[in-house]
Amino acid sequence: MSLVAFDLSGPSRLENMELVVDGASKVFGAGESAVTALTPISLAIGAGEFLSIVGPSGCGKSTLLNLIAGFETPSSGEIRLDGKTVTRPGAERGVVFQQGSLFPWMTVLDNVSFGPISRGVPKAEAREKAMQFIDLVHLSAFASRYPYELSGGMQQRVGIARALANEPRMLLMDEPFASLDQQTREILQFEIKRIWQRTKTTIFWITHSIDEALFLSTHVAVMSARPGRIKKAFASEFFASDDPMVGSTQAFTEAKREVTMVLHEESMKSSKQEEQR
Partner 1 sequence: MSAVPGVKQSADGQSAKVNRRDTVIQLRSKLMSGRHVSFLSFLVMFAIWVVATTPLLGAPMVSPVFLPSPQSVVMTFLKLAQEGYQGKSLLYHYGASMFRFFSSFIGCVLLGVPIGLMMGMFRIVRAALDPPIEFTRPIPKLALLPLFVVWFGIGEFSKIFMISFTLFPIISISAMEAVKSVSLRKIQAAKSLGASDATIFWRILLPGSLPGIFTGLRVSVGLGVSMLVGAEMVATSSGVAFMALSASDFLQTNIVLVGVTILAVTGYLLDLLVRVIEKVVVHWSGRE
Residues contributing to the site for partner 1 (CB under 8 A): 69-71, 88-91, 93-95, 97, 100-106, 114-115, 118-119, 146-148, 151-153, 162-163, 166, 172, 179-182, 184
Give the side-chain half-sphere CA count within 13 A for 200: 2
Measured distance CA(79)–CA(68) in Å, rounded? 6
- Give the shortest CB-57-to-partner 1 separation in angstroms: 15
Which of 29/89 has CB closer to partner 1? 89
Which of 93/256 has CB closer to partner 1? 93
- Give the shortest CB-64-to-partner 1 separation in angstroms: 15
Which helix (H) or strand (E) segment is 4 a member of? strand 3-5
- Give the shortest CB-104-to-partner 1 separation in angstroms: 4
Which of 115/227 has CB closer to partner 1? 115
Measured distance CA(132)–CA(49) in Å, rounded? 23
Backbone phi and psi for residue 232, each to the nearest 5 degrees, phi listed first: -160, 145
Q: What is the DSSP string of 220-248?
A: EEEEPSSSB-EEEEEEE-GGG---TTGGG
- Give the shortest CB-96-to-partner 1 separation in angstroms: 9
Which of 91/235 has CB closer to partner 1? 91
Measured distance CA(147)–CA(101) in Å, rounded? 10
Which of 122/253 has CB closer to partner 1? 122
- Give the shortest CB-134-to-partner 1 separation in angstroms: 15
